[in-house]
A and B are shown apart, each in its own frame.
Chain A
Amino acid sequence: MHFAPYTGWVYPNETVFEWSVLIAVYPYITGLVAGAFTVSSLYQVFGFERLRPVAHLALLTSLSFMVFVPTPLLLHLGHPERAFNATITPHLTSAMAMFGFFASFYVALLIVEGWFANRPFIVEQAQTRTDLLGRFYRLLTLGSYDVSPHTMHFDKKWIFALAVIGIPAAHGLHGYVGFMYGSLKSREWWSSDLMPVIFLFSAIISGVALLVVLYVASCKLRRIPVDAACVKGLAYTIWAFIMVAIVLEALAFANLVYKGREGIDTILQYVTGPLLVPYFLLQFAIGMVLPLLWLSYMIWRGTTGKALIVGVTVCACLVLFSVFMMRWNVVIGGQEISKTGKGLLSYHMPFWGKEGALMAILLTTAPLGLLYVLTRLFPPWADDAAHAHG
């Protein structure tokens, strides 16, 4: 067991860090789900035509990451075999108790929407393939081979309805993750009414940024030209949401400092000391303000072509990094400030072990493996005439 070094005065029991990097990974993955779903909805519900090339990819991305959402939590639990207790006998006053229901509902929604969106492809494969995969697709048709215009119209209505329900579901799920921290009164660093909205907006920008990276990478892998209009559409989306995200975080921080409640001296000592680089430099300056300025410049100058694609992709990578740093600074940062308000602790992240850095990296990247498999089974590429659907 590692006992955290500390300065000042901390409670003895605080010298063991109870929430590790995995608890930072958990809201990060959940955020990517919500953000990716936002992109899908912008096309399906709000008719953002230029996002068509990524609309289906967004849905598959959302599903791939959602499947992995519970994994960091299960690895963290002292008794993972009892995890279902929270669903079977939920303690209704707990912010955590509803997670199983929300998450299950959302996974089901993603699967059903994904099924409707991919039905023409599934039917086509079921009818043409004779191998083992053909059986798989025939099973997936659920006995419905009707792809007449009338049925397609019916399917579209379902996709629209599910996408509409999915917006509050995805955003509710993530806002709720923020509430789990914001509602705790034991830590001044977490206890903010703005926390759920901050989590939500950072989630959206991270999901959109992930899609930029995935879309550009997929085009390169498939050796097809990147649709600059689509990338620009995603850039606009990041630009709009990142502004709100910055303003909200700045407001929350200003509130904390301005109220200056007990322990604020220690918090200020922390943010101007150990948190200076991870918070102000990495999360804010490099991860949020730089992409905002860069995107603004490209929009202002009407940048297009390769410069736009490279610029937006780099900005997206920075945003992905920034949002992870935000999760880190909340989860780990919150625990580094003692509940006493009179001391600071430092978290040591092991590399190995079930709650180490390697595991955190594996869990964050594992959904990409699932996404690869899903894109092979249900190609989401709008440019591919044979597979174009939706």
Chain B
Amino acid sequence: MTKDSKPELAARRAFLVKLAGAASCAGAAVGAATLGLTPAVSAKTAPAADGGSFPTKDYDWTKHQWGFGVDATKCIGCLRCVEACKRENDVPANAHQFRTWVERYVHLEGEDQVRIDSQQDPVNIAASGSEKTFRFANRYKDAKVYKAFFVPKLCNHCTHPACVQVCPVGATYKSEDGVVLIDHDYCIGCRYCVQACPYGARYFDEERGVSDKCTWCYHRITKGLQPACVEVCPVGARIFGDQKDKESPISLFIRNNRVQVLRPESGNAPNVFYVGIDKEVN
């Protein structure tokens, strides 16, 4: 994601181009100066036409309202989503920083407290053999499991995102299509957003000096593709689509299920909708 992806900036450039044109009419001296400016500005917008660009050409973010569903009753904890996300989005190759992760909740017979673990657990890291691939250790094979389930987690792309509220420079923002994005060219790396997110969905990329988090694979969805995690899920536990399309997978998911969101009391109004999670999940 770059600053250049913002439509406002495109409008600003268009304005500059117009300004340059007007100025060139005004006189030879001014015109000569602006001639230097015009190609430079045009050059920056030019790649939008060649397909490999971002944002996608002709994508209109006012025509979509993206939403995400998680059916925890289907998740088998294979973690293909986590690995796909890491590769697709260049997420640091370690077991401590994620755009998406999966939590395991296990109630053992005779215990009051639920046991929760995820990819950063040393036992799971040992089971994976490296911090580049992920798997859940079979740690409860000899125990009597009373109840167990997996919960995929990711950025909730909240309607009232606390991260956007606290960003001192506006580098993280809510797009028209409902996705919370980060302008990595503008982020100052203060990490206030990381602190403000109640869901632990953000991390700080040391190498790039900026905050990062899930974008629902914005570079894919604006091309009509599914987010990488949704694409690779073998059981359809992750559902994604346009809420403006009443027949889209996400609209049907919300219509046909009693869905809930995480930490509704926070007032953030998340846009990841869950089915099949238990009272301990937050």
Name A residues whose Cβ lies closer than 8 Å to a Cβ of B: 1, 3, 9-16, 18-19, 73, 76-80, 82-83, 85-86, 89-91, 93-97, 99, 180, 184-187, 262, 335, 339-342
- Quick one: which of B230-271 are within 8 Å of A by CB? 266-267
Cα A10 to Cα B282 with chains together (Å): 11
Complex interface: chain B residues within 8 A of A186 (CB): 162, 195-198, 266
Selected from B118, B171, B187, the residue in CB contact (under 8 A) with A12 is B118
The answer to whether B198 and A78 have CB atoms under 8 Å apart is no
In whole angstroms, how far apart are the Cα atoms of A87 and B203 in the complex?
24
CA distance A93 to B174 in the complex (A): 13
Secondary structure type dominating chain A contacts: loop
**B194 nearest in chain A by CB position:** A18
How distant is B83 from chain A, measured CB to nearest CB, in Å? 14
Residues in chain B near residue A342, CB distance under 8 A: 116
- Residue among A10, A14, A19, A97 making CB contact with B191, cutoff 8 Å: A19
The answer on a CB contact under 8 Å between A94 and B204 is: no
Residues of B within 8 A of A16 (CB): 96-97, 203-204
Interface residues on B, range: 35 or more
Tell me how far the C-beta of B175 lies from the nearest C-beta in chain A, rounded to whole angstroms. Answer: 15
Bound complex: CA of A198 vs CA of B96, how far in Å? 34
Q: Collect the chain B residues with CB atoms within 8 Å of residue A11's CB.
A: 101, 118, 153, 199-200
Which residue from chain B places its CB closest to the CB of A339 in the assembled complex? B200
Chain B min CB distance to A89 (Å): 6
Contact partner of A185 (CB less than 8 A), chosen from B96, B164, B266, is: B266
- CB A245 to nearest CB in B, in angstroms, measures 25
Q: B204 to chain A: which residues have CB within 8 Å?
A: 16, 18, 78
**Cβ–Cβ < 8 Å partners of B228 in chain A:** none
In contact, B186 and A13 (Cβ under 8 angstroms): no
Q: B282 near A79 (CB under 8 angstroms)?
A: no
Write the chain A residue with the least CB distance to B192: A96
B165, B200, B204 interface centre (most CB from chain A within 10 Å): B200
Contact A83 B188 (CB under 8 A): yes
Contact A18 to B209, CB < 8 A, known contacts A13-B202, A97-B169? no
When distances are taken between beta carbons in the complex, the residues of chain B under 8 Å from A340 are: 116, 200, 282
Cβ-defined partner of A13 (8 Å) among B165, B171, B200: B200
B206 A1 Cβ-Cβ under 8 A: yes
- In the bound complex, how far is the Cα of B117 from the Cα of A3, in angstroms? 16
Residue of A nearest to B95 (CB): A12
Can you name 19 extra interface pairs (CB under 8 A) apart from A16-B203, A97-B168, A339-B198?
A13-B194, A13-B202, A14-B200, A15-B96, A77-B190, A78-B187, A78-B190, A78-B210, A78-B211, A79-B189, A79-B209, A82-B186, A82-B188, A89-B170, A90-B169, A93-B166, A180-B192, A184-B162, A186-B196
Complex CA gap A96/B119 in Å reads 33
B85 adjacent to chain A (CB < 8 Å)? no
Q: Residue of B at shortest CB range from A18?
A: B191
Residues of B118-145 whose CB lies within 8 A of A: 118-120
Sample of 21 A–B contacts (CB below 8 Å): A3-B96, A10-B200, A12-B200, A13-B96, A13-B97, A13-B98, A13-B201, A19-B191, A78-B189, A82-B188, A85-B186, A89-B170, A94-B166, A184-B195, A185-B162, A185-B266, A185-B267, A186-B198, A186-B266, A339-B199, A340-B200
- Measured CA separation A344–B84 after assembly (Å): 29
Nearest Cβ on chain B to A217's Cβ, whole angstroms: 35
Q: Whole-angstrom distance between the alpha carbons of A96 and B190 in the complex?
A: 10
Q: Which of A97, A99, A262 has the most CB of B within 10 A?
A: A97
B208 within 8 A of A: yes
Q: Shortest CB–CB separation between residue B108 and chain A, in angstroms?
A: 15
| Best-buried of A89, A94, A335 by chain B (most CB within 10 Å) | A94
Contact A85 B169 (CB under 8 A): yes
3 closest Cβ pairs, A-B complex: A78-B189, A11-B200, A78-B209
Residues of B within 8 A of A (CB): 94-98, 101, 116-120, 153, 162, 164-171, 186-192, 194-206, 208-211, 266-267, 282
Contacts of B201 in A (CB 8 A): 13
Chain A: CB-nearest residue to B197: A186
Are the C-beta atoms of A91 and B96 separated by less than 8 Å? no
Query: Considering only CB atoms, which chain A residue lies closest to B166 in the complex?
Result: A94
Q: Complex formed: what's the CA distance from A3 to B97 in Å?
A: 10
**Bound form: Cα–Cα A358–B272 in Å:** 44
Query: Quick check: A91 and B170 within 8 Å, CB to CB?
Result: yes
Which residues of A lie under 8 Å from residue B168 when comparing CB positions?
85-86, 90-91, 94, 96-97, 99
- Residues of chain B lying within 8 A (CB to CB) of residue A13: 96-98, 194, 200-203
Task: Specify which of B95, B188, B192, B210 lies most central, judged by the most chain A CB atoms within 10 Å of its CB.
Answer: B188
B202 neighbours in A (Cβ, 8 Å): 13
- Return chain A residues, CB-CB under 8 Å to B166: 93-96, 184
Residues of A within 8 A of B94 (CB): 1, 3
- Please report the C-alpha to C-alpha distance between residue A1 and residue B95 in the assembled complex, in whole angstroms: 12
For B267, list chain A residues within 8 Å (CB). 185
Question: How far is A205 from B218 in the complex, measured between Cα atoms in Å?
Answer: 50
Task: Give the complex CA separation of A7 and B239 in angstroms.
Answer: 32
Contact A187–B195 (Cβ < 8 Å)? yes
List, in ascending order, chain B residues with CB within 8 A of A19's CB.
Answer: 191, 195
Residue of A nearest to B169 (CB): A85
| Residues in A neighbouring B203, C-beta threshold 8 A | 13, 16
Task: Determine the residue in chain A with the shortest Cβ distance to B205.
Answer: A78
Contact: A3 with B194, CB < 8 Å?
no
Contact partners of A94 in chain B: CB under 8 A: 165-170, 192
Chain A positions within 8 Å of B153 at CB level? 11
Check if A184 sits within 8 Å of B196, measured CB to CB.
yes
Output the least CB separation between B204 and chain A (Å): 6
Closest to B186 in A: A85
CB within 8 Å for A91 and B167 given contacts A1-B206, A15-B120, A18-B204: yes
Contact of B119 among A9, A12, A82, A180 (CB under 8 A): A12
**Smallest Cβ-Cβ distance to A15: which chain B residue:** B96
Q: In the complex, which residue of chain A has the Cβ closest to the Cβ of B281?
A: A340
C-alpha spacing A94/B193, complex, angstroms: 10
Given known pairs A9-B117, A14-B200, A86-B169, the reply for A79 and B188 (CB within 8 Å) is: yes
Determine if A76 and B266 form an interchain contact, defined as CB atoms under 8 angstroms apart.
Answer: no
